[in-house]
Structure 1
């Protein structure tokens, strides 16, 4: 079954996703910070199966790390609490990079502007 052409919302979501993935792969955005945004955009890019393997990596990262402060919420946390979490954050970021680097590259190929 052929998929209908992308609508404007899907096209914009694909552009946002590609931009975010480029930031992650270049090291400007962490996998932990990107995961919730990738999961959010998954439902907006159109044409993605529920259990897409490339997105599944980010769903897992998001699920494992949703208890951690993000850069946007760190100012709401006590400094000692953030310091106590730093080793866990570093460990999970390294694990996320190992787990999702290939998925990040594959998603970028699939959703880059030239393919949108």
Structure 2
């Protein structure tokens, strides 16, 4: 993912990206070996902008079947949700809009 002349706060870019990864490629965030595959490079253009490059191995599950006319059709399948007890832990608090108030 390459963004040229980005002038915003880096959080404005990375938080939506992390939320997308949580919902579409959760193994990249949950598996320590796989999250090392997320690469980040930046080039500062000037005091206001930077070029940003995120590299990550993405996969998509696609089921291909033949319709009644024998034409191949692709169905894009959702990613399986993690089967770990902590799946509703800290990451879901960040990305599933769980808010709270301090006492």
TM-score of the superposed pair, with normalisation by structure 1: 0.28
More helix as a share of residues: 1
Structure whose CA Rg is larger: 2
Task: Specify which structure has the bigger relative contact order, considering alpha-carbon pairs within 8 angstroms and separated by 6 or more residues.
Answer: 1
**Structure with the bigger percentage of strand:** 2
